[in-house]
Chain A
Amino acid sequence: MNPVALITGGGNGIGRAVAQRMAVGGMIVVVADYEYAAAEQVRAEVEEAGGTAAALSLDVTIAREVKVAVGEAAQRFGRIDVLANIAGGSFYTKRIEDFTWAEWKVVIDTNLKGTFLMCREVAPIMQKQKNGRILNTASNYGVTGSALRAPYSAAKAGIIAFTKSLALELAADGIRANTVAPGPTDTPRVMEKETPEARQQRWYSSIPLGRTGRPEDLAELYYFLTTPESAAITGQLFHCNGGLV
């Protein structure tokens, strides 16, 4: 029986690459995204390549939607072996005094609360299976902080500590939980805002490997953390940033 992977934010960027990598690795992938059309497109790409996939519309900040989406995935495929929480974003770059409470909430809820809601819903399924792997997504900013991204940095740091606690709670049930921290990665969302030249200027001198990340670089790390090769790894943080941090 093929393992089932549920990927939030699976419609674009890193999430899309992760969905494709998991499918190549033989998993059934459930692509959940706020943008349903994007999720649907990734589903079609995966199936065209010979994989099995489903697409779901999901706003991870709404508990009711999370419950419905996880229920649908579990019912359709009978189990959830891998949960990759990739939905998130920094949304704003501005000084702390210019953030409204509503903006603060958007950033914290999308990144941190969404991760909590997904884990809360999926963990009992994995506990029944006595098997599961949870992959949460932080950022190098969750460790170093970032001027003009205070709520994002806080949310990502929160995810790192949340995941450690979760790993301790779920270890006895054979469930592993780890965090992946992408560095600057060439996703469509960031490439829209910046020309390749501007990106090169900004990053290349500070990244020892001399290039920004590709979604595929991240996908390999997420995939590794689902395989038996990482069987003894839980509660840990994995940077993938070319040596920036």
Chain B
Amino acid sequence: MRLQDKVALITGGAQGIGRAIALGMGQEGARVIVADLQAEKAETVAAELRALGAEALALDVNVASEQSVQRLAERIFERFGRVDVLVNDAGVYLKAPVVSKSEEDWDRTLDVNLGGNFLCARAFVPAMRRQKSGRIISIASSIAHNGAREFADYAASKAAIIGFVKALARELGPDGITVNAICPGSANTDMPRRHRSEEETMARLRATPLGHVLEPEDIAGPILFLASDAAAYITGQTYNINCGTVMI
């Protein structure tokens, strides 16, 4: 049990990669907060965690709202008194070519994907500084490196996360807090299916050098490593988990 009694917050923890991270943290002994805009789904994941024997709490949050993140922090500190691990996974993925992308969509993508990182860091870093320890792990995307047609806002937001993480790692290192990013390739979740047929999705997921379909658990594993004591000397890095599709 590498995370025994650690308090771990996963935003966007209700489904897909976030859910796998939450379950993985619970299996490693962490007390898990599943925070998501979709409160019912978050509660389902919390129930799964409890069935595994882990302590879990589902909370609703809009990471793009200062008040909502503030309320989230208050509820967490009231119940747990601390946060050891913050995983920023909440994100949106809205398809449209740049020339016809609405300002609303642009703002939403940047506010949730990037702004959420900022607001959550601001809310939870002071407690980590007091503890003189903490782990922040932000989910970017291989699209940050490769770009993607009709997802320019998403690519920009995810690349910006990498820059943010590097700067934050420098700011927080002296307090014993590590900050790292993860760039998953396209994974076997609902997300790629939103804009493609099942057949096309699976064909694309199989077309990797390793020939292995990237599962949410493949992303969760390295995050558990980064959250554990074994990764105490690793900060400011970006881990690319994509079965060999992008090497940078």
Q: How far is the CA of A174 from the CA of B209 in the complex (A)?
A: 9
For A210, list chain B residues within 8 Å (CB). 173-174
Q: How far is the CA of A174 from the CA of B243 in the complex (A)?
A: 11
* CB of A159, distance to nearest CB on chain B (Å): 13
A112 within 8 A of B: no
| Cross-chain contact A209 with B235 (CB below 8 angstroms) | yes
Question: Quick one: closest B residue to A168, CB to CB?
Answer: B209
| Cross-chain contact A234 with B237 (CB below 8 angstroms) | no
Question: Quick one: closest A residue to B234, CB to CB?
Answer: A240
| Cross-chain contact B233 with A209 (CB below 8 angstroms) | yes
| Cross-chain contact A168 with B244 (CB below 8 angstroms) | yes
For B241, list chain A residues within 8 Å (CB). 232-233
Q: How far is the CA of A176 from the CA of B210 in the complex (A)?
A: 8
For B174, list chain A residues within 8 Å (CB). 208-210
| Cross-chain contact B244 with A167 (CB below 8 angstroms) | yes
| Cross-chain contact B233 with A232 (CB below 8 angstroms) | no
| Cross-chain contact B221 with A167 (CB below 8 angstroms) | no
Which of these binds chain A: B58-66, B92-100, B111-119, B222-230? B222-230
Of residues 204 through 233 on chain A, the ones whose CB sits less than 8 Å from some CB of chain B are 207-211, 213-214, 217, 220-221, 223-224, 227-233
| Cross-chain contact A230 with B244 (CB below 8 angstroms) | no
For A228, list chain B residues within 8 Å (CB). 221
> Which bucket holds chain A's interface residue count?
35 or more
B211 within 8 A of A: yes
Question: Quick one: closest A residue to B176, CB to CB?
Answer: A209
| Cross-chain contact B236 with A208 (CB below 8 angstroms) | yes
A148 within 8 A of B: no
Q: How far is the CA of A17 from the CA of B229 in the complex (A)?
A: 16
* CB of B205, distance to nearest CB on chain A (Å): 11
| Cross-chain contact B173 with A243 (CB below 8 angstroms) | yes
A171 within 8 A of B: yes
| Cross-chain contact A171 with B244 (CB below 8 angstroms) | yes
| Cross-chain contact B233 with A242 (CB below 8 angstroms) | yes
Q: How far is the CA of A214 from the CA of B233 in the complex (A)?
A: 9
Q: How far is the CA of A164 from the CA of B231 in the complex (A)?
A: 23
A239 within 8 A of B: yes
B122 within 8 A of A: no
| Cross-chain contact A232 with B214 (CB below 8 angstroms) | yes
For A238, list chain B residues within 8 Å (CB). 234, 237, 239
| Cross-chain contact A230 with B173 (CB below 8 angstroms) | no
| A229 touching B237 in the complex, CB below 8 Å, given contacts A234-B209, A242-B173 | no
* CB of B232, distance to nearest CB on chain A (Å): 7
Q: Which of A208, A221, A229 contacts B221 (CB 8 A)?
A: A229
Question: Quick one: closest A residue to B169, CB to CB?
Answer: A243
| Cross-chain contact A171 with B209 (CB below 8 angstroms) | yes
For A200, list chain B residues within 8 Å (CB). none
| A167 touching B209 in the complex, CB below 8 Å, given contacts A234-B243, A236-B239 | yes
Q: How far is the CA of A172 from the CA of B222 in the complex (A)?
A: 22
Q: How far is the CA of A224 from the CA of B219 in the complex (A)?
A: 13
| Cross-chain contact A172 with B172 (CB below 8 angstroms) | no
Q: How far is the CA of A171 from the CA of B218 in the complex (A)?
A: 16
Question: Quick one: closest B residue to A170, CB to CB?
Answer: B209
Question: Quick one: closest A residue to B179, CB to CB?
Answer: A243
| Cross-chain contact A239 with B234 (CB below 8 angstroms) | yes
Of residues 167 through 184 on chain B, the ones whose CB sits less than 8 Å from some CB of chain A are 169-174, 176, 178
Which 5 pairs show the lowest CB-CB distances between chains A and B?
A: A208-B173, A229-B221, A171-B209, A232-B218, A217-B233
In the complex, 7 of the A-B residue pairs with CB atoms within 8 angstroms, ordered by the A residue number, are A168-B244, A172-B211, A209-B235, A229-B225, A230-B222, A234-B243, A235-B209
Residues of A that sit less than 8 Å from B by CB: 164, 167-168, 171-172, 174, 176, 207-211, 213-214, 217, 220-221, 223-224, 227-236, 238-243, 245
